Amino acid sequence: MASTDKVGAVMVVGGGISGLQSALDLADSGFKVYLVEKQPSIGGTMAQLDKTFPTNDCAMCIMAPKLVSTGRHHNIELVTNADIMAVDGKAGDFKVTVKRRALRVDPTKCTGCGSCAQTCPIETSDEYNENTKVRKAIYVRYPQAVPLVYSIDKDKCIGCGICAEECKAKAVVYDQEESTSEINVGSIILSPGFDEFDARLKGEYGYGVYKNVVTSIEFERMLSATGPYFGTVMRPSDGDIPEKIAFIQCVGSRDEQVGNEYCSGVCCMYSIKEAIIAKEHGGDIKPKVFFMDMRAFGKEFDEYYNRAQNEYGIEFVRSRVASVFENPETKNLVVKYVEKGEPKEEEFGLVVLAVGLRPPEDAEALSKVIGFDLNSDGFCQTTALDPISSSKAGVFVSGAFSSPKDIPMTVAEASGAAAKAATEIASARDSLVTKKEYPAELDISGQEPRIGVFVCHCGINIGGVVKVPSVAEYARTLPNVAYAEENLYTCSQDTQEKIKEMIKEHELNRVVVASCTPRTHEPLFQNTIKEAGLNSYLFEMANIRDQCSWIHMHEAEAATKKAKDLVRMAVAKARLLEPLENLTIDVNQQALVIGGGATGMVAALELAKQGVKVHIVEKDENLGGNMLKLHYLPSEEDPTEHAKALADEVASNDDITVHTGTGVKSIEGYVGNFKTVLESGEEIEHGVVILAVGGQEYKPEGEYLYGENPNVLTLLEFKDKLKKGEVKGDSYVFIQCVGSREEGHPNCSRVCCTGTMTAAIKVKEKNPDAEVYVLYRDIRTYGFREAYYKDAAEKGVTFIRFEDDVKPKVEDKGGKLQVTVTDEDTDKEVVLVSDYLVLASGTRPYPESEALAPMLKVPMTKEGFFLEAHMKLRPVDFATEGVYLAGLSHGPKFLDECIGQGLAAVARAMTILSKKTLEAEGIVASLDETLCDGCGICVPTCEYKALEIIVDKKDETKKLVDVNVGLCKGCGACVGACPSGALTQKGFKDEQIVAMIDAALEGVMDNEEVKQ
């Protein structure tokens, strides 16, 4: 191993969705991770959300797999209930002192069964449910919490001792002390998230005084099926369903009064979502959203906004609400506001305040202990060209801690931070991770099944209802069961040893555990039998807790009978289980980056710094892309100079091969094994692909005299002239949303509002007397970009809003441009005479994306951007493994966001490239070639592109489907589709499923026979 003074471990501070993503990416690419979390369990804010925009996915459903993987990952150590006390050392070698507050429960013994909380007599407010529910003094934050370890809230506990008496695992330790430890890591990632704005500070809205004024996050819990009202929206005052709900935007955002001038970036979208979900839950509910500018700037967000208006009939009122008063009789709320200059009031049953995002409470303490800078708003300071790095070397940042942002941007940054953190310590990769060694696998071929059955009491969770001894007794009577026993906790460490002993003693070759759910516990037991030399697929579980004892608590007899049925079914399948093989695929450790703009260059450099050989392909003669055309970044940094520096760095890097002036002709292969032919004829073999083909500014030919009058320019063209000093004039009109948010291009281009602000400010700086008008629909200067909007307004730029469907008219009046627009606020026509007309035109994808998509079998949006695997949690992945996307070809975005995504793609790619081989799934589709006639019906059912129709090598006239087990994820879609029965799914064969069904219905059949 190469000697290194770097430490191959990373500390991730904060276990929300951001921390989870960073931790998983790092742990999957050869680094040890310490995930430090303030709370007793990880999950953060996302775990509290009901649904997520713009897909309306259930937040917990999409998040739970990441929670479980993090909790179970052998290279991730969870350090929960902990605070960072001190940090010494430097980048590559930090010594972090961490204090763990006492849980008062031994995490190695607690099985998370929950009997303690059931009997605890102390009730207190449940923070996870925003105090709309109660929890006990011994508790887990939420039912799916990871780690599933209870802890005692010492402030509330009276020390009655009942939980300790109740706990069969003897896990309660009242005198547990806090502990301090020093952890040695090479990099640190900060992802402590954000705090909600305290709505009490906006006294005029009555939060905390009026019961029916709630915050958006409280409303989120109210919408949730696991929340207090089981998903029915109710008024906290009296349980009535509110007929009318008012959503008030910008509570604690864009508000000088409370000291938060920035835009929180996410509230417009979450309010639209909450309004839609409320409407879905009760059709008669009438939501109304009061907003200033609708900031639906993300990918496909405007379409979501349009649906809210057109399909769901949600009303939107452009107004900042002045105040809210309660009708003391009805507890209804009177909302006072001004619309088009006219004071109005309206009564609502419920008011939801869209509270903004604040830096976390401990931001300042963290910045002092670790030694990085905060910006003037108290968030972590970053720069546009290095959005992931804090001011301290070796300390990186992701998520809302650097600026308010939504989940997809957070997840992308989290991967980006993982990439940066890994680069810092790339020389120490694989130095601290562990690889488990298992004994040689026993050959069980030809053996009669000898099944061992382990039935769990789960403390009293199962045993209190189901007669466990009689279930174990019954199991012994089943055919092929060689051994059965009952355990207090089958998942406990000592039982794992017992299972291994019994496998030896009774020569067991199949194991069945009847306990909780395989979704959380199957991997544990599979590991146990693997340690005893059995193939891990020779295992089956019967879920007699979550799906039996817990739901039939008052029917002991029937529950016991059902538990026996479930065990009989599991045994029936176990009899037919076969050892499965996890095939390994060799990985070519080179990367291909398509696109030589900022995103592609950043990605290529980062990969190279981690020791990867990279090929970068750029269609133009020079590297640089759009970055060469950008001027006046908000931060004053000069992107053009930086682009040139980046290009030089790429060109001079020995590990990067630059292919300019050529496109991609063809790409074949799959993860770890791609072969690409360039138009130049060069052939490249590589293991992953990063798509960073970029986008371009829309040229609005034929609109607003563009192309006819030389003084009508796009924003980029105007800025270029401005930079060169070629702009001369006293009056300027900017028109927003040119080619965006209209038919055919329904979505927002995200960057044009801010781009307009920086241009307008520059014009005003050069000529303070210039008349500058911005004609707009919504100003979408989200996050800290709001400052430029404010600056422009303060410098005297005039903003005029026009109706979405009444575009301004432009005429050429002998050298001057005359712009006629109807001011929506006054309904009056305004005529402006101007020297320049600047069109803030949208971002469009490059046409070459369309050619690449079929080569890589990746999907696109209607507008021609690439469509990622999941809009929320897999922003830079495709369903096709080994292919990643970043930058403008994903959708319009700012330079810093492109860089963040470019780095994210690197981290995702490194989860593949850091390994010499990949292990495929064991549960995969397999083909009986004699039955397959190559009809191809299965092919489109495969989301992972693992199927292909090929010519049978043995018989050239015959066609066959080829299953690429390297890509197969084992869902079984193709098996269900196959008309000839040629495809089967290993581990879920027809006969295995049928055996379970027969076993389930055994008693029924007997009864029917008796009747006949």
Query: Smallest distance from the beta carbon of 354 to another protein, in angstroms?
Result: 23
CA distance 785 to 792: 11
Whole-Å CA distances, 65 to 17, 71, 80, 144, 919: 12, 10, 19, 11, 19
How many Cα neighbours within 13 Å face the side chain of 545? Answer: 25
CA distance 774 to 782: 17
Query: Smallest distance from the beta carbon of 554 to another protein, in angstroms?
Result: 6
Count Cβ atoms below 10 Å from residue 243 Cβ, excluding itself: 14
Site string for another protein, 340-379 (x = CB under 8 A): ---------x------------------------------
User: Could you tell me if 827 and 810 are in contact, meaning their C-beta atoms sit under 8 angstroms apart?
Assistant: no
- Paired tokens of 234: 């109710």
Of 88, 90, 95, 158, the residue at the interface with another protein (CB under 8 A) is: 158
**Interface with another protein includes 948 (CB under 8 A)?**
no
Helix (H, G, I), strand (E, B) or coil at 762: helix
**Interface with another protein includes 910 (CB under 8 A)?**
no
Of 236, 464, 523, 579, the residue at the interface with another protein (CB under 8 A) is: 236
Q: Which is nearer to another protein, 74 or 154 (CB)?
A: 154
HEC string for 61-76: HHHHHHHHHHHHCCCE
**Interface with another protein includes 175 (CB under 8 A)?**
yes
Query: Smallest distance from the beta carbon of 577 to another protein, in angstroms?
Result: 37
Interface region with another protein, contact rule CB under 8 A, candidates 61-69, 154-162, 461-469, 655-663: 154-162
Query: Smallest distance from the beta carbon of 241 to another protein, in angstroms?
Result: 4
CA distance 251 to 213: 12
CA distance 999 to 996: 5
Helix (H, G, I), strand (E, B) or coil at 706: coil
Query: Smallest distance from the beta carbon of 56 to another protein, in angstroms?
Result: 23
Query: Smallest distance from the beta carbon of 229 to another protein, in angstroms?
Result: 7
**Interface with another protein includes 228 (CB under 8 A)?**
yes
Q: Which is nearer to another protein, 119 or 582 (CB)?
A: 119
Distant-in-sequence contacts of 825-832, Cβ < 8 A, 24+ apart: 825/340, 825/341, 825/801, 826/340, 826/341, 827/340, 830/800, 832/731, 832/733, 832/773
Q: Which is nearer to another protein, 221 or 745 (CB)?
A: 221
Of 72, 99, 101, 211, the residue at the interface with another protein (CB under 8 A) is: 211
β-strand pairing of 959-963 with 947-951:
antiparallel
Helix (H, G, I), strand (E, B) or coil at 940: helix
Whole-Å CA distances, 74 to 77, 386, 432, 986: 8, 31, 11, 26
Of 159, 203, 469, 859, the residue at the interface with another protein (CB under 8 A) is: 159
Interface region with another protein, contact rule CB under 8 A, candidates 29-37, 86-94, 232-240, 805-813: 232-240
Whole-Å CA distances, 944 to 39, 469, 527, 859: 37, 45, 27, 11
Phi, psi dihedral angles at 608 (to 5 degrees): -65, -40
Site for another protein in 518-557 (CB under 8 A): 554-555
**Interface with another protein includes 230 (CB under 8 A)?**
yes
**Interface with another protein includes 121 (CB under 8 A)?**
yes
Interface region with another protein, contact rule CB under 8 A, candidates 82-90, 128-136, 573-581, 590-598: 128-136
Q: Which is nearer to another protein, 115 or 834 (CB)?
A: 115
**Interface with another protein includes 148 (CB under 8 A)?**
no
- Complete DSSP assignment for 528-590: HHHHTT--TTSEEEEE-IIIIITT-TT-HHHHHHHHHHHHHHHHHHHHT-------EEE---E
Number of residues in contact with another protein under rule CB under 8 A: 34
Of 162, 460, 583, 939, the residue at the interface with another protein (CB under 8 A) is: 162
Element (H, E) at 642: helix 639-652
CA distance 639 to 598: 10
CA distance 753 to 528: 58
**Interface with another protein includes 243 (CB under 8 A)?**
yes
Count Cβ atoms below 10 Å from residue 238 Cβ, excluding itself: 11
**Interface with another protein includes 122 (CB under 8 A)?**
yes
CA distance 732 to 643: 29
Site string for another protein, 269-298 (x = CB under 8 A): ---------------x--------------
Query: Smallest distance from the beta carbon of 133 to another protein, in angstroms?
Result: 6
Of 229, 270, 799, 944, the residue at the interface with another protein (CB under 8 A) is: 229
Of 64, 241, 393, 935, the residue at the interface with another protein (CB under 8 A) is: 241
Query: Smallest distance from the beta carbon of 228 to another protein, in angstroms?
Result: 4
Q: Which is nearer to another protein, 243 or 998 (CB)?
A: 243
Q: Which is nearer to another protein, 15 or 349 (CB)?
A: 349
Interface region with another protein, contact rule CB under 8 A, candidates 222-230, 271-279, 369-377, 538-546: 222-230
**Interface with another protein includes 160 (CB under 8 A)?**
yes
- Complete DSSP assignment for 87-119: EEEETTEEEEEEEEPP-SB-TTT-----HHHHH
**Interface with another protein includes 119 (CB under 8 A)?**
yes
Interface residue list for another protein (CB under 8 A): 119, 121-123, 132-134, 154, 158-162, 164, 174-175, 211, 228-230, 232, 234, 236-243, 284, 349, 554-555
